[in-house]
Amino acid sequence: MSAGRALRFSKMHGAGNDFVVLDLRGGRDAPGPALARRLADRHAGVGCDQLLTIEDSAFPDCLARYRIWNADGTPASQCGNGARCVAAWLRREGVAMSPRFRLDSPAGPVQAEALGAGRYAIDMGPPRLAPAAIPFRAEAEAVEYRLPLDGGEVAFGAVSMGNPHAVIEVADVAAAPVARLGPALQARPEFPEGVNVGFAQVLAPDRIRLRVFERGAGETLACGSGACAAVVALVRRGRLARHAFVELPGGTLEITWPADDASVVMAGPTAFVFEGELLLEQPE
């Protein structure tokens, strides 16, 4: 990105998980970590949990490619709320003429579907449960793992939805030590790429409350891949139905996991907040 250039963007959110969306189709340069941090800064930039770029895809059956940068400038491999926002952006721009279309994500192609009234469904693919695929260092795959942490022991499920998640069941999500245990578990060497840490409270056989401490962003108002991971982890423990609603601080997502070898489908809202320009005063 060159000095003095105005960079156009869309500000969006999905259930409160907010994004700056950049149109980089046509071979425009991708942002570096410094620009990603600047855009994400809520005081000196636009403000967001993640930066999303929409780019040309090399796959002929995908309408576009999207990439993800966390607020700290690090790349991310998947973002369910972000995928819905990318789908909504492409529909608004007239790129996605059909209600069903494929997107090229860092974790592989995903299927999107417009449901109406700003709601979209994303096929997030099957969960990855083998420790090496998460990645998580463990001797064998298990429904529940335990690690010493914060002077005690924490029990959690480990799932990859294209990015690593640890899911801790708690009695009261409002009182969960998210700010303490989240970064502590992220720092464990057993998670070589870090981990998104979810704190889930079962309300009913088909409903949970969830808070997520994300890699590179901290606690966010919603995490789509985290909602998928929480449902998978709790289904495996016999605590939740395969079709469930996940209440996050920013809104509710609907998650379906029909069978152990099936894809996880996430449905939820999207919203356009505003359009804007950022003047780049110096090279990034």
The structure tokens 């998980």 sit at 17
Query: How high is the mean pLDDT in each 10-residue block of the chain (284 residues)?
Result: 70 98 92 92 95 97 97 96 98 97 97 98 98 97 95 95 98 97 96 98 98 96 98 98 98 98 98 90 52
Whether residue 50 is annotated as binding a ligand: the answer is yes
Does one domain contain both 85 and 190? no
Does one domain contain both 91 and 203? no
- Number of structural domains the chain divides into: 2
Both tokens of 116, joined, read 């109406």
Whether residue 2 is annotated as binding a ligand: the answer is no
Whole-number Å distance between alpha carbons of 21 and 59? 21
Does one domain contain both 142 and 250? yes
Does one domain contain both 174 and 248? yes
Does one domain contain both 60 and 79? yes
Q: For this structure, is 48 an active site residue?
A: no
Residue 174: its pLDDT value, please? 98
Does one domain contain both 89 and 177? no
Does one domain contain both 98 and 201? no
Instruction: For 36-85, write each residue's pLDDT tens digit.
Output: 999 999 998 999 999 999 999 999 999 999 999 999 999 999 999 999 99
Whether residue 92 is annotated as binding a ligand: the answer is no
Does one domain contain both 244 and 137? yes
Does one domain contain both 109 and 163? no
Does one domain contain both 171 and 253? yes
Does one domain contain both 144 and 258? yes
Residue 6: its pLDDT value, please? 78
Q: Active site residue: 48, 79, 85, 228, which one?
A: 79
Residue 282: its pLDDT value, please? 52
Residue 4: its pLDDT value, please? 54
Nearest Cα neighbor of 103 from 163, 30, 69, 54 is 54
- The pTM of this model reads 0.94
The CATH code of the domain that includes 32 is: 3.10.310.10
Does one domain contain both 160 and 254? yes
Domain range holding 94? 5-123+270-280
Whether residue 32 is annotated as binding a ligand: the answer is no
Nearest Cα neighbor of 88 from 7, 8, 9, 12 is 12
Q: Active site residue: 48, 85, 223, 228, which one?
A: 223
Whether residue 247 is annotated as binding a ligand: the answer is no
Whether residue 163 is annotated as binding a ligand: the answer is yes
Whether residue 225 is annotated as binding a ligand: the answer is yes
First-to-last alpha carbon distance for the chain, in angstroms, is 6
Whole-number Å distance between alpha carbons of 11 and 275? 6
- Asked if 209 contacts 173 with a C-beta cutoff of 8 angstroms, the reply is yes
Whether residue 284 is annotated as binding a ligand: the answer is no
